[in-house]
Structure 1
Amino acid sequence: MGIVQRQGLRNTVISYLGLALGFVNTAFVLPHLLAPEKLGLTTLLVSIATVYAQFAAFGFASVGIRFFPYFRSRETGHQGFLPLLLALPMLGFLLVTLFYGLGRPLLLAQYAPADAALLGPYYWWGSVLALFTLLYSLQDAYLKGLYHTAFSGFLQDIVLRLLIVGLALLYGRGYLSFHEFVLGYVGLYGIILLLLTLYVSYIGELHLRPTRAALRVRPVGEIVRFGGFALLSSLSGSILGFIDSWMVGAQLSLAAAGVYGIAYNISTALTIPARSLNKIAFPLLAQFWKDQDMAKMADFYRSTTRLNTVLGCYLALGIGLNLDFIYSLIKNPVYATGTTAVLLLAGRLFDGITGVNGLIVVTSPRYRFDLIFNLSLAGFTVLMNWLLIPRFGLTGSALATLLAIVGINAARTWFVWYSYRLQPFDRRIPLILGIAAASGLLAGLVPFVHSHLLTMLLRSAGLTILYAALILGTNAAPEATAYLQKLRNKV
């Protein structure tokens, strides 16, 4: 757990700084400067680029992490692994771009005429954004294999968000038109891609010369087959993350997609602990499978689940207790209609509580079974959005996300236990959940006091003191207690 704690701590610090910046963007800057339909447009472009890039990558971001342990050899430039990692996705990008162009009339026809007119001029800029996203994700996967995970998170969570704030302020003060703002928004992704490439070069790992040795380390057919399964598996995750904004925009409006995007961003805090740990968990699990070290994998599975549960519950309670304060900072009352959606999206906490089950399946010899889970998840998500959005609006889409997350994680957790007798729970998990429930109930008894700010401070202070005291006092999370003891010894 040493490398996990070091890298996880760095990633967590970066992620929470990014969360603060994202909150500033979400609560102050973007809603104040952009009308909901314009904010919905930028959200839609990012959604399109993400799925577009995943089709083009053909699962090679996962390939980069899964197979890198077999290529690792700095003296030989990792046997030409990086050129191999980039080659097929670039061909895939050309192919997907062809279909993207042919599908333009069909995609625009899904939106109301006013929304289609707003999206139309920026349609091809979605392709440029997809290229930047593709190259960034491939280099990020390469760095994960090298156990260099912090700088990529720093660029994406902090640098990009600072640049977006600066760009939005220029637009708000009239220095940029909205058209220039959108083009600048796309360009910012190109900037962080360039910075990441310079970093790879700086650490001496930018090995771009192809070698024949890369084709002999592992059978190419095996790598391509894994990439195909990883593609279909990762697409379901993108569908879960982005199909709701697509379908809200198409079935309701781009303005509604903008409101939903704010609610989704607020709930993103719940994913930070798991996301921070998963950056280093993926390559470690791949190494455990290579070494057939099931004892370490079992210990890692339980330890990360405890950490994700402790942090995730605390964040979920913090959001739920202070939701009125969060929305009071957003001056545009239109955005407040997403309050219920935030509460339902708190179901993303379940993803952290069930641990790294998905990564264990993807890196295991039975990785093909993850395809079944993910295709089922994708179909279920689309179906539930289609049924629930017309009836419940934004709340319906959030409910569809909740049901999908709980369903896929329950299935994966059972499969890992059935196949490998690995499960993430011990007696401490019910204890942590009980502590969270008791702390939340007691902190929720604090009444509204004069202002949303003062109420937030009192509730947050009460929650933090109660929760921390009970977690540490009962030793519900030994990892947190051990880390605190290390800090005390250093002091």
Structure 2
Amino acid sequence: MGIVLKQSFKNTLFIYLGFAIGGINTLFLYTRFLEDEYYGLVTYLLATSNILMPLIALGIHHTIVKFFSSYFTKIEKDKFLTSVLFLPLLVAVPMGFLGNLFYEEISNYLSEENPIIKNYTFVIYLVAFTCAYFEVFYAWAKVQFQSVFGNILKELWNRVVVMILLFAVYFEWITKAEFIYYLTGAYFLRMFVMMAYAFTLYFPKFTLSKPDNFNEILRFSLYIILAGSAGAIILDIDKFMIPGKESLEKAAYYSVAVFIGSFIEAPSRAMLNILQPLTSKTLNEDNLKEVGSLYKKSSINLLLISGFFFILINVNINQLFSLLPKEYAGGALVVFMISLLKMYNGFLGNNGAIINNSKFYKIVLPLSLAMAFSVYFLNKLFYYTLDMGTDGLALATLIVIFAANTFKLIFVKSKFSITPFTNKTFVMFMVIASLYLLFSFWDFPIKDIYLYKFPIHPIINIILKSIIIVPIYLFIIIKLHISKDINILFKKLYK
């Protein structure tokens, strides 16, 4: 786990720095510098582009991770990389042509409830295209076991750009419409920077020859593209559906709650950046013992870290929402459900990487399709029929992904005879549940302290409660030896 922990630590730092900047953008700048309608518009455009992105990428970013380590000579690697590099254009070019041909019909359909969407529909395709090729070149770097720079671009680039552009809107250097155009340009620039970095790590000799297993590569890509598209629907269908029933402002309010709940997934994203190519390599080498070891270590370490942030966020959630404009209040239940889901994702460790990079990858397609249909119909039931509001959207996501994760847990156990459970897993769950219940239902009686009309008493409450929780949590996990890797890390820091 040496290289995993080293790069995961760096990635986690940059992801949380990105989350910190994103938090400032989401909780303070967007809500004050950009009208709620435009904030909802940005949320809708980016969510819709995320749904479209896997289709354009053609699954190539997953294909690179799965197959690259199976080639041993530069000639074989060059054939492989050359053959997959241009495959996304087979989808992107016809899609762009048809989108341009039927632009009026598409934009009218998407803007039926919110006319402002019509003028920006083309942004969806442009952002999806740039994100697709960014992921391709990011995977290119990952298989060289260099994930940090790409992670910086993925987590920091857009958030820093958004912050700069929001201040530009505030000072009236640009208009709200220009904000969207400049942000789209930033996505293009990020793609080119990632491409340049990937080529510095490994520059292939371009060839017209195809690798011997090209048909297998195509089959895998087709499965993954469908599975990835279904997976993207699961993650972003709720933000896409809100403007179909209510105003764009509601999408902005829901986006804030989801952002807060998603804060705990940063360690998972950081560790999986390097675990994915490592898992692929060990599977290609048929080293199931190492796969099992990575599975258990990644699970307990991610449960420990994500559980820590689950507690901090949910015991302070009411104070956190009191810092926001009143329109954004009422999302505590959404935050709880999303954060619970993200913690479960963390507990699974590299489960997804094991399935995706094994010979059983075909199970991902029917599972993803079942999830996509399920979340769509549950959203219709909870949000439209039962009128449960955005709580219903979060509940639908929680039910579907919780069920799917449990299936994947059982599937890996049945096919590989390995589980993520260690003798400390149950103890870790009990620690998280106990501290959450102990600190959830009270706050320090500090009220009505303002600095230039800005309430700072919620910040004081959050800091004081966190000062109590952090040392208790750290003491328990070290004393109980929950994670060997974490204990070693603390010993090094203590020395």
TM-score in same-fold range (> 0.5): yes
Correspondence list, 1:302-321, <5 A:
302-321=296-315
Q: Deviations over 1:204-225 (max 9, x none)?
A: 4243x42245x13x41110000
Q: Deviations over 1:139-172 (max 9, x none)?
A: 0111111111111111121232111100011012
Correspondence list, 1:102-113, <5 A:
102=102, 105=105, 108-109=108-109, 111-113=111-113
Counterpart check, 1:161 vs 2:159: yes
The equivalent position to 2:389 in structure 1, one of 366, 385, 393, is 393
How many residue pairs get matched? 481
Inter-partner Cα distance in structure 2 for 1:312 and 1:104: 45
The equivalent position to 1:193 in structure 2, one of 191, 194, 198, is 191
- Specify the SS of the correspondent of 1:392: coil
TM superposition shift of 1:103:
7.2
- Specify the SS of the correspondent of 2:349: coil
Inter-partner Cα distance in structure 1 for 2:180 and 2:293: 46
Aligned twin of 2:336: 343
Letter of the aligned partner of 2:329 in structure 1? A
Q: Deviations over 1:223-282 (max 9, x none)?
A: 000001111221222112111100122122211111111111111212111111111111
Counterpart check, 1:147 vs 2:140: no
Q: Deviations over 1:84-103 (max 9, x none)?
A: 22211012101222444437
Q: 1:68 to 1:488 in 2, by over 3 A?
A: same
Inter-partner Cα distance in structure 2 for 1:297 and 1:221: 27
Counterpart check, 1:210 vs 2:206: yes
Contact 1:358 1:370 in 2 (8 A): no
Q: Deviations over 1:437-486 (max 9, x none)?
A: 22223333653331212211121111111111100001012221011122
The equivalent position to 1:363 in structure 2, one of 357, 370, 377, is 357
Aligned twin of 2:20: 20
The equivalent position to 1:425 in structure 2, one of 403, 418, 421, is 421
TM superposition shift of 1:107:
6.3
Inter-partner Cα distance in structure 1 for 2:181 and 2:110: 23
Counterpart check, 1:87 vs 2:86: yes
Correspondence list, 1:4-15, <5 A:
4-15=4-15
Inter-partner Cα distance in structure 2 for 1:78 and 1:37: 48
The equivalent position to 1:353 in structure 2, one of 347, 355, 374, is 347
Aligned twin of 1:225: 219
Contact 2:130 2:191 in 1 (8 A): yes
Q: Deviations over 1:278-318 (max 9, x none)?
A: 11111111111111001011011000000111011111111
Q: Deviations over 1:348-374 (max 9, x none)?
A: 221111222222111111110121211
Letter of the aligned partner of 1:119 in structure 2? I
Aligned twin of 1:250: 244
The equivalent position to 2:279 in structure 1, one of 274, 279, 285, is 285
TM superposition shift of 1:11:
0.8
Aligned twin of 1:474: 480
Counterpart check, 1:381 vs 2:379: no
TM superposition shift of 1:104:
5.7
TM superposition shift of 1:106:
5.1
- Specify the SS of the correspondent of 2:244: helix
- Specify the SS of the correspondent of 2:329: helix
Aligned twin of 1:325: 319
Q: 1:264 to 1:124 in 2, by over 3 A?
A: same
Contact 1:97 1:127 in 2 (8 A): yes
Counterpart check, 1:457 vs 2:463: yes
TM superposition shift of 1:411:
0.5
Inter-partner Cα distance in structure 2 for 1:222 and 1:403: 34
Contact 2:29 2:166 in 1 (8 A): yes
TM superposition shift of 1:51:
2.3
Aligned twin of 2:53: 53
Contact 1:236 1:378 in 2 (8 A): yes
The equivalent position to 1:412 in structure 2, one of 402, 408, 412, is 408
What's the TM-score once normalised by structure 2's chain length? 0.93
Inter-partner Cα distance in structure 2 for 1:160 and 1:188: 7
Inter-partner Cα distance in structure 2 for 1:328 and 1:198: 44
Aligned twin of 1:96: 95
Contact 2:314 2:440 in 1 (8 A): no
- Specify the SS of the correspondent of 1:284: helix
Q: Percent identity?
A: 23
Aligned twin of 1:44: 44
Inter-partner Cα distance in structure 1 for 2:290 and 2:444: 48
Inter-partner Cα distance in structure 1 for 2:67 and 2:260: 35
RMSD of aligned C-alpha atoms?
1.8
Aligned twin of 1:274: 268
With 291-300 and 229-238 compared, the bigger mean Cα shift is at 229-238
- Specify the SS of the correspondent of 1:190: helix
Q: Deviations over 1:315-361 (max 9, x none)?
A: 1111111112322332x221224333212212222111122222211
Letter of the aligned partner of 2:335 in structure 1? V
Inter-partner Cα distance in structure 2 for 1:242 and 1:12: 23
The equivalent position to 2:399 in structure 1, one of 390, 399, 403, is 403
Letter of the aligned partner of 1:55 in structure 2? L
- Specify the SS of the correspondent of 2:87: helix
The equivalent position to 2:433 in structure 1, one of 425, 428, 437, is 437
Contact 2:140 2:198 in 1 (8 A): no
Inter-partner Cα distance in structure 1 for 2:21 and 2:390: 25
What's the TM-score once normalised by structure 1's chain length? 0.94
- Specify the SS of the correspondent of 2:193: helix
TM superposition shift of 1:21:
0.9
- Specify the SS of the correspondent of 1:148: coil
With 319-328 and 336-345 compared, the bigger mean Cα shift is at 336-345
TM superposition shift of 1:110:
5.2
The equivalent position to 2:130 in structure 1, one of 132, 151, 156, is 132
Contact 2:141 2:201 in 1 (8 A): no
Contact 2:323 2:458 in 1 (8 A): no
Gaps of 5+ in 1: none
- Specify the SS of the correspondent of 2:125: helix
Inter-partner Cα distance in structure 2 for 1:51 and 1:104: 20
- Specify the SS of the correspondent of 1:174: coil
Gaps of 5+ in 2: 447-456
